[in-house]
């Protein structure tokens, strides 16, 4: 099977970085990242996040249907990153059920809380089911989380824990571990 990758001229690396920075600075704000030729089972924004953050020093876990030869080739071609297991991953990509449980991912430690895994969870955005508060949010925001109790438990470990990007095709938002997760 020959894999052909086309260059996307609609957004640059700087555009990707600005969108991701904005989404991270203002959690729950939906941003758009357009990558016109994502591999099978990868959403466009997931590809853009990976292309922005990852390089040959990155270790990526691929969950479920995202773990396929086309995606692996795409990642290696675009980033040079390594495909790894959960315990060694700096980044993880997949659908919610392919990524849980989260216990095997790195959450950092007291001296290096930044040495945790960033989860890129692909899912359809649905009706909001949680309220988030914290840095970057004026009062609160209503958002959808696939399982708010798991995210809430993760964020209670702050400054340790996982950071999340939730992606629905070209749309995405950030849920850092510093947020508080509440009921609507």
For 160, the 3-state DSSP assignment is: coil
Stretch 26-42: mean pLDDT: 88
Top CATH class of 13-182 equals alpha beta
pLDDT, mean of residues 161-177: 97
Residue 68 CA to residue 91 CA, distance in Å, equals: 16
Q: Global pTM?
A: 0.91
> For residue 131, which phi and psi values (nearest 5 degrees)?
-115, 135
Distance between CA atoms of 28 and 175, rounded to whole angstroms?
7
**How do the domains of the chain map onto residue ranges?**
13-182
- The string of pLDDT tens digits covering residues 91-143 is 999 999 999 999 999 999 999 999 999 999 999 999 999 999 999 999 999 99
Q: How far apart are CA 39 and CA 33, in angstroms?
A: 15
Name residue, tokens 């840095």. 135
Give the pLDDT confidence of 60-84 residue by residue, as tens digits: 999 999 999 999 999 999 999 999 9
Distances (CA, A) of 160 to 51, 52, 90, 114, 157: 25, 23, 14, 8, 5
């Amino acid at each position: 099977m020959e894999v052909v990758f086309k260059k996307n001229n609609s957004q640059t690396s700087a555009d990707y970085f600005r969108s991701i920075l904005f989404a991270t600075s203002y959690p729950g704000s939906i941003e758009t990242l357009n990558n016109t030729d994502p591999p099978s089972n990868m959403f466009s924004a997931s590809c853009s996040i990976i292309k922005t953050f990852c390089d040959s020093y990155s270790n990526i876990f691929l969950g479920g249907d995202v773990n396929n030869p086309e995606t692996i080739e795409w990642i290696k071609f675009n980033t040079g990153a390594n495909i790894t297991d959960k315990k060694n991953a700096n980044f993880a990509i997949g659908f919610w059920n392919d990524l849980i449980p989260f216990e095997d991912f790195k959450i950092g430690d007291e001296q290096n809380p930044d040495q945790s895994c960033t989860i890129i969870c692909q899912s359809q955005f649905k009706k909001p089911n949680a309220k988030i508060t914290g840095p970057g949010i004026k009062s609160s925001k209503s958002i959808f989380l696939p399982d708010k109790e798991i995210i809430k438990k993760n964020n209670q470990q702050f400054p340790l824990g996982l950071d999340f990007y939730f992606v629905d095709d070209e749309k995405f938002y950030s849920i850092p571990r510093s947020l508080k997760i509440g009921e609507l």
